[in-house]
Amino acid sequence: MSANSRLTIAAHALAWIGLYQRQGNEVATSEQIAGSVNTNPVVIRRLLGDLRRAGLVESRRGAGAGWSLARELDAMTLLDVYEAVEPGPLFAMHRAQPDPECVVGSGIQPALQGIYEGIEETLRRELARVTLEKVLDDVLAAPR
């Protein structure tokens, strides 16, 4: 099982747009952002669509088309981004109902549910503490 990188790519895109706008540019194209992320622009457009629906970015069509921040980086948290790009819970239960006649099958979901909820709450609390401004500051301070 591979790890999900949607939150990382979305945070990367937002930090990139924020820096690009600070440099005096109005909008960024998905191709420009994709170049920094080293992925296909379609991947970026899909994520930016999720971020637009969450009110984190805006898009402009036609001449001068592109993406811009809908609010400042210091007004966005990693939790905002997570909620925009991760529609479901962090951990899921079985896709098919386990055997109710089996002692493990009948008890595994109740045993894990509370643990998973606690992990999710901790994750949300930690993500809410970090703004995208802090992420960009850390990016700019990182050695190259």
Cα atoms in the 13 Å half-sphere on the side-chain side of 138:
9
In whole angstroms, give the CA distance from residue 24 to residue 27. Answer: 9
What is the phi-psi region of residue 116: left when phi exceeds 0, alpha when psi lies from -120 to 50, beta otherwise?
alpha
pLDDT digits (tens, 9 = 90+) for 31-82: 999 999 999 999 999 999 999 999 999 999 888 889 999 999 999 999 999 9
- Whether the pTM exceeds 0.85: the reply is yes
In whole angstroms, give the CA distance from residue 125 to residue 94. Answer: 26
